[in-house]
Amino acid sequence: MSLLQREREIITQNEYVDHFDFEEIEAFVKSASKELFISHRFKTSDAMQVQPRGGFPTYEKVFRLYEEFKEAGVDVLPLTIDSNTRLNDYATAKKMLALSEENDVDMLNGYPLINHGYRTTRKMITHFDTPVSLRHGTPDARLLVEMALASGIFEIEGGPITYLLPYSKNFPLDKAFLYWKYVEKVCALYSTFNEPINRESFGPLSATLQPPAIVIVIQLVEMLLSLEEGVKSFSVSFSQTGSMIQDVVTANVIKKLARHYADMFGHHDADIHLVYHQWMGAFPYNKEYSDALITASTVIAAMVGADKIITKTRNEAFGIPTKEANARAVASVKYTLGMLKGLPAVSDEEEEENLTSMVNEIMEAVLNDGADTLWRKVFNAIKKGHIDIPFSPHVINANEVITIRDPQENIRILERGKLPISDRSFAFERSKIRLNEGERVVDKIIKDIGIMQ
Amino acid sequence: MSLLQREREIITQNEYVDHFDFEEIEAFVKSASKELFISHRFKTSDAMQVQPRGGFPTYEKVFRLYEEFKEAGVDVLPLTIDSNTRLNDYATAKKMLALSEENDVDMLNGYPLINHGYRTTRKMITHFDTPVSLRHGTPDARLLVEMALASGIFEIEGGPITYLLPYSKNFPLDKAFLYWKYVEKVCALYSTFNEPINRESFGPLSATLQPPAIVIVIQLVEMLLSLEEGVKSFSVSFSQTGSMIQDVVTANVIKKLARHYADMFGHHDADIHLVYHQWMGAFPYNKEYSDALITASTVIAAMVGADKIITKTRNEAFGIPTKEANARAVASVKYTLGMLKGLPAVSDEEEEENLTSMVNEIMEAVLNDGADTLWRKVFNAIKKGHIDIPFSPHVINANEVITIRDPQENIRILERGKLPISDRSFAFERSKIRLNEGERVVDKIIKDIGIMQ
Amino acid sequence: MKVVTGVVGNDIHVVANRLIEISLKERGFTVFNLGVNTYLEEFLDAIVETDADVLLISSLNGEAEGWCRDLQILKKQYTFRKDVVFMIGGNLGVGEMDPDALVPKFKNYGFDLVFHQVDLNVGLDTLENYLKAHA
Amino acid sequence: MKVVTGVVGNDIHVVANRLIEISLKERGFTVFNLGVNTYLEEFLDAIVETDADVLLISSLNGEAEGWCRDLQILKKQYTFRKDVVFMIGGNLGVGEMDPDALVPKFKNYGFDLVFHQVDLNVGLDTLENYLKAHA
Ligand code: B12
Ligand code: B12
């Protein structure tokens, strides 16, 4: 028995888990419908895939949510996991699930996949015969991902950085790397059974004034860490910045560099896709404006040529959306994408050059670290502040980089902290910034956070 | 007394009109608030001006409509005239206005300006102290325009071609030219009193598969006919084509050529503006999709760099919108424009070159006609089919040009009829068209009309 | 079968009218298209002149009611075959209307088939079935 | 005046928290920011340790109710000044809630000032007025 398999047996032996029948699961995946694989969909369709967010505690409510989504023309279904499960607290999740089932009140903010188990969940997934994407935010997602794959969920979101630095205050980063290494390995293994499992990184990070250079670096390293373990289909992602041209530039650069670095590391056979998140920052407290924001961001997604778009709802500022609001957004995004035609190929050479330089400068610093493995290099880069995410709640994050918006609402680096970018790149960034006479940086930041409100 | 003034006295002596006090009107215009002039607004603001459509029979209802619009942040108010007035049938308009006032039911589809008179209407216009745009569709608008200007309405939409060929079956075209000549002259005269009166042409035409080359030619000739009489501020316009790139190309070419032809005819001092109409064709029977269409078209307006946008509503497919639906669209368009930033400068050289050539080829043919005056040359061009509007209901229109959409939904010329475009330009157009195996043109046209539904 | 068609009143929305002509011809009808901006009398004259089987009126701009309420009276002044089918469609109200209220109203005015915001082909299918049923 | 602040429970929405710290300092308060992901006991410990005048809790992700319903019980286990102002704000419900129902609920839990989906500065203005009134 391989080392990995021994680990898997331990991980899946858990008091909240029914016996894991690895053979049966392998047989299931081998004969699973191609329709369940988003990697297959990417190969066979040119259309931008539309995926909402959403999850409820009970099987019935998720089932009804999926029905609503299907009616709205959804391409990819989400399965969002509750926060107890994310923290591996299956006992609480079990209790709350029972309460939710008895009282018809939601006591969990997502689907407790461990407690439902793969035998039950698979029924739903195969019933809808549509790709499902696992949305969680779990630093230790080993059991969760086993359960997801066994259920027929063939896209796994997350990564050691993107699901940690924006989502956690003090979960140890080195552990996160090792737990995700396991996840990558299992995904790679399953990818040999049928169509590839698709892994997706979470580019929005803290969703607040994130500089594209840092977002791209993190996308690239999570991609490399995944491909290194044998994953063959990977989606890099980012979220709407607030400036149309910055979105376009970010997309052009990330597409180019993702391919470049994948090839550089010998992963010529890996498929790489681009996912665009609709505005992830603070939404307006006005549902009609939120509708407009959702449509405008759909137009931009089409312009940047994303392979998948992840949608928001008109309820975003208020709270967790109803299934109706969620389906409404899907239908409206599908309509917009269907109607939008004649999209121009846009670019801005100077901006693309500068962004490319910054990403390459940081990547060089990361890769030149003395550690023996890639994950350790990345770990060190974060510790050194070479990778530094504004508005991360995590204690390991340097929190020295400060970003503000220029007059076009492009996000610019005002303080570079320990970012290993060249003076030239930094000067370019600074040259775009305009502060009004007497305007304080903090007031500008507050304004810049609220641009969509 | 000048010839024009003699004409004016005759026109304004009408049994439905109270005494026209030309001196008092001149004094009013001379001292009128600059805020009433959109030409002044264009000079002093960079923001895209937002203007809805709308009008009701009674003073009170228009007043309440304006209040609603102001609350939504409107930039330019519309005054849409009822169809009896458009046909100079003031007797019926009077009767219907009385019925509307008595019964609180609208018996007219717009505001009967002649019956209300300028003394009353001016109160409302000056009260709101916001530019008002006259929207009518009247071939003989002489009295109507006198009344509008005397009321403080300092933007006049329309033109001899654009308000005739899409709006009428058999009103004589030569008369339309002469009546509009009068309108231009009066506008020019008033332009010397204070800020210039702005004239605006109606580029959407029949709003159905209109080829940009024809739209632009018509915009140019109406502009020249207006500037020729001394008008100093003119807006050319067009409506969303269905292809983002075609909108951008159309805007780039029309801006360039409008300036070019104005200068060529010596009108260096004329200000020229660009107006973008949100989708003017068939709307979806789904209000949420209509919202999305309205937002997407706002994004495009921002990309083409329009000076003014004219909005639609979510009720478009159903019928005349309520004031609430109308104000909602204004608020949402204002939000979208405020939030959209970092717009790229887009262009497509090859397309722009071809469109420029087609417009110049047609313009050359028009200007080379043997007639002595510009309006006669244009009249002859229409009679000869050198200018030919698809889906015009007018008997004089040649109806030989057939347009269909290419795979990017660009509108392309399939049959050129008598259009004087070169074989090269025509070949370019044809080269873009793809008909599916066995697909009939008429089925394609039906599909192409319904792309937004 | 002969069909007289056109758009009633001061309405100049010509797009549907062009499509109607094409569709009717395709379905094998002989079409007399009076175009937009056609008054009720002109339609009735045309029925007489052409000995038509069907009158197919469009209205889009909201004028339908104003023009059609006197159809019954007008019909009496003309002599034509009893079995001429009167049909109207398009956008039959001003503003947003309840279709369930509009249809009976226009049937009262003397129309056999009434279509408010109904797709053309659905309408023409219904017409063909109606003609078969009454043949 | 000393303020203890932070985000309660497993909530990691840090943006408002950062702004709160800055705004409080600007208004002249001495700030002890416990950051995101802070449990109720930690807040109460900090009041004791710092002898704070105000406890300002944020909650964004909908967990507020779950964490705060036992505040009264917990308060009894601690000894601190009677006049400490308890304040909470952010997004206090799951899904879309009626603010008129939420505010009394949280007042019952033992909060003096409750702000559901209310702008930060409005909340801080209210706090300052409250402090003046109770000085
Ligand atoms: C950015 C964001 C994120 C980022 C957070 C990054 C980070 N580390 O900070 C990411 C993407 C990581 C994230 C994750 C999650 N999020 Co989140 N997120 C948002 C979002 C879009 C904006 C929040 C924000 O930064 N706003 C800007 C700041 C300045 O404003 P604010 O936080 O609203 O605070 C203002 C006021 O509330 C007030 N205020 C705050 N505290 C206090 C205190 C007092 C006393 C006063 C007076 C005022 C006050 O002052 C601020 C300025 O006016 C909101 C939705 C929205 N509002 O549009 C959802 C939202 C808060 N998130 C939500 C959820 C559920 C989550 C998740 C649990 C699950 C998920 N959907 O992925 C996760 C996990 C988080 C966890 N464990 O808690 C929900 C909460 C649901 C509810 N309450 O019903 C929201 C409302 C989205 C939604 N509609 O579903 N999120
Ligand atoms: C294009 C258009 C115009 C163009 C018309 C160009 C031309 N000459 O044809 C222009 C810009 C010039 C125009 C002008 C006006 N228009 Co207009 N226009 C439209 C628009 C956007 C699309 C119409 C269209 O071409 N649709 C495509 C065709 C193929 O579809 P259709 O006409 O809806 O017809 C379908 C069905 O109704 C059906 N059908 C039609 N007839 C029949 C008959 C039968 C028997 C059956 C079964 C089916 C059937 O078959 C078709 C295919 O399915 C509509 C709104 C909309 N629908 O989105 C407004 C609309 C029809 N217009 C309207 C109005 C008021 C006007 C104006 C009076 C005033 C103004 N707002 O400017 C003017 C003046 C016109 C006049 N004197 O009549 C209103 C009517 C209001 C109402 N009924 O309550 C509408 C609904 C817009 C609105 N919401 O205010 N218009």
Instruction: Read off the pLDDT of each residue in A324-350 and give the average, rounded to a whole number.
Output: 96
User: D65: pLDDT confidence band, cut at 50, 70 and 90?
Assistant: confident
* Whether residue D14 has its Cβ less than 6 Å from ligand 1: yes
The verdict on the CB of residue A280 being under 6 Å from ligand 1 is: yes
C12 lines ligand 2 (CB under 6 A): yes
Mean pLDDT of A302-324: 96
Token digits for A140?
């230790």
Query: Are the CB atoms for A88 and A138 separated by under 8 Å?
Result: yes
**Are A319 and D18 an interchain contact pair (Cβ–Cβ within 8 Å)?**
no
Does pLDDT of A95 surpass 80? Answer: yes
Chain A residue with CA closest to D15: the answer is A391
Q: Which residue in the block uniquely carries the two structure tokens 């215009």?
A: B29
Q: A163 by DSSP, 3-state: which?
A: coil
Chains near D with 3+ CB pairs less than 8 A apart are: A
**How far away, in angstroms, is C88 Cα from ligand 2 center?**
15
C-alpha torsion sign, points B137, B138, B142, B144: negative
Token pair, residue B3, equals 């010839």
Closest residue in chain A to residue D116, using alpha carbons only = A318
Backbone angles phi, psi at C70, to 5 degrees: -100, 15
Mean predicted confidence (pLDDT) in C41-55: 96
Report CA-CA distances (Å) from B264 to A278, A299, B374: 47, 38, 14
Domain ranges (residues) in chain B: 3-337, 371-449
- For atom 48 of ligand 1, the residue with the nearest CA is D120
Spatial contact of A97 and A115, defined as CB atoms under 8 Å apart? yes
Task: Give per-residue burial for A124-145: e unless 16+ CB within 10 Å, then b.
Answer: bbbebebbbbbbbbbbbbbbbb
CA-wise closest residue to C30 among C39, C17, C21 = C21
CA distance B258 to C6: 38
Alpha-carbon gap: B41 to the closest alpha carbon of chain C (Å): 33
Of residues A340, A408, A312, the one with CA closest to residue B297:
A340
Task: Measure the CA angle with vertex B398, ends B396 and B399; round to 5°.
Answer: 120
CA distance A333 to A50: 8
Contact A103, A119 (CB under 8 A): no
**Residue C88 CA, closest ligand 2 atom number:** 45
- What CA–CA distance (Å, rounded) separates B71 from A175? 55
Between chains, do D15 and A391 touch, taking CB under 8 Å as contact? yes
Which atom of ligand 1 is closest in space to residue D123's alpha carbon? 47
| DSSP assignments along A237-291, one per residue | EEE--S-HHHHHHHHHHHHHHHHHHHHHTT-TT-EEEEEEE---SPPPS-HHHHH
Residue B318 Cα to ligand 2 middle (Å):
10
Shortest CA distance to A125 belongs to which of A84, A158, A86, A76?
A: A76
Q: Taking the model in full, what pTM does it have?
A: 0.94
C-alpha C41/C-alpha B54 separation (Å) is 32
Instruction: State which amino acid sits at residue B29.
Output: V
Taking the centre of ligand 1 as the mean of its atom positions, its distance from the CA of residue D24, in whole angstroms, is: 20
Q: Is the pair A, B in contact (3+ CB pairs within 8 Å)?
A: yes
Q: What is the pLDDT of residues A230-242, one digit of tens each?
A: 999 999 999 999 9
pLDDT at D94: 79
Assess contact for B290 and B317: CB atoms under 8 A: yes
- Mention every residue, 6+ apart, whose C-beta is less than 8 A from residue A123: none
The CATH homologous superfamily to which domain A3-337 belongs is Methylmalonyl-CoA mutase (3.20.20.240)
Residues of D tagged active-site? 11, 13
Q: Transcribe B256-304 into DSSP letters.
A: HHHHHHHHHTT-TT-EEEEEEE---SPPPS-HHHHHHHHHHHHHHHHHH
Q: How many CA atoms lie within 13 A of B220 on its CB side?
A: 31
Report the residue of A81, A446, A452 to disrupt the D interface, i.e. the one with the largest count of D CBs within 10 Å: A446
Instruction: Name which of D14, D20, D60 to mutate to probe chain A: the one with the most chain A Cβ atoms within 10 A of its Cβ.
Output: D14
C125 is catalytic: no
Q: How many CB atoms lie within 10 A of CB A30?
A: 11
Report the chain B residue with the minimal C-alpha distance to residue A279.
B339
Measured CB to CB, residues of chain D less than 8 Å from chain A are: 10, 12, 14-15, 18-19, 22, 35-37, 61-62, 91, 93-97, 117
User: How crowded is the C-beta side of B301, counted as CA atoms within 13 Å?
Assistant: 31
Note the ipTM here.
Answer: 0.93
Would you say B61 and B123 are in contact if contact means Cβ atoms under 8 Å apart? no
Q: Is the pLDDT of residue A44 over 90?
A: yes
Domains of chain C with bracketed CATH = 6-12+28-133 (3.40.50.280)
Total H helices, total E strands in chain C: 6, 5
For residue A371, give the 3-state DSSP assignment: coil
B55 Cβ below 6 A of ligand 2 = no
Identify the CA nearest to B257 among candidates B351, B160, B359, B157.
B359
Which residues, at least 6 apart from A7, have a Cβ–Cβ distance to it below 8 Å? A182
Whole-angstrom Cα distance, residue A162 to residue A177?
11
Q: Which ligand is nearest to the CA of D85?
A: 1
Q: Kindly indicate the confidence band of residue C63, based on its pLDDT and cuts at 50, 70 and 90.
A: confident
C12 contacts on B by Cβ (under 8 Å): 166-169, 393
Residues facing B238 on adjacent strands: B276
Helices marked H in A129-267? 142-151, 173-191, 212-228, 244-264
DSSP 8-state class, residue B374? H
Query: Which of A246, A288, A295 is nearest residue B342 as measured by Cβ atoms?
Result: A246
Of A135-139, A177-181, B40-44, B153-157, least confident by mean pLDDT is A135-139
pLDDT above 80 for A81: yes
Q: From CA B347, how far away is CA B355, in angstroms rounded?
A: 12
Q: Do C12 and B109 touch (CB under 8 A)?
A: no
| Closest residue CA from atom 54 of ligand 1 | A282
* Alpha-carbon B377 to chain mean position: 22
Phi, psi of A18 (to 5 degrees): -70, 160
* Burial of C59 (C-beta count, 10 Å sphere; 0-12/13-18/19+): buried
Question: Which of A146, A145, A169 has the alpha carbon at shortest distance from A159?
Answer: A145
**Residues of chain C with a CB closer than 8 angstroms to some CB in chain B:** 10, 12, 14-15, 18-19, 22, 35-37, 61-62, 91, 93-97, 117
How far is C-alpha B293 from the chain's CA centre? 20
Angstrom distance (rounded) from CA B144 to CA A243: 45
Average pLDDT, chain C: 92
| Mean confidence (pLDDT) of chain D | 92
Q: Chains contacting A with at least 3 CB pairs below 8 Å?
A: B, D
Q: Identify which ligand lies nearest to the alpha carbon of B287.
A: 2
Residue written as token pair 């083409």: B304
Measured between beta carbons, which residues in chain B are less than 8 angstroms from residue C15? 206, 208, 282, 391, 449
Q: Is residue C116 among the annotated active site residues?
A: no
Question: Edge-to-edge, what's the strand order for the sheet holding D54-59?
Answer: D30-33, D2-7, D54-59, D85-90, D113-116
Q: What are the structure tokens assigned to A261, written together?
A: 């670095």
From first to last of its 453 residues, chain B has per-residue pLDDT tens of 799 999 999 999 999 999 999 999 999 999 999 999 999 999 999 999 999 999 999 999 999 999 999 999 999 999 999 988 998 999 989 998 999 899 877 888 899 999 999 999 999 999 999 999 999 999 999 999 999 999 999 999 999 999 999 999 999 999 999 999 999 999 999 999 999 999 999 999 999 999 999 999 999 999 999 999 999 999 999 999 999 999 999 999 999 999 999 999 999 999 999 999 999 999 999 999 999 999 999 999 999 999 999 999 999 999 889 999 999 999 999 999 999 999 999 999 999 999 999 999 999 999 999 999 999 999 999 999 999 999 999 999 999 999 999 999 999 999 999 999 999 999 999 999 999 999 989 899 999 999 999
Give nearest CA residue, ligand 2 atom 79: C61
Tell me, what DSSP letter sits at residue B322?
Answer: P
Residue A427 pLDDT > 80: yes
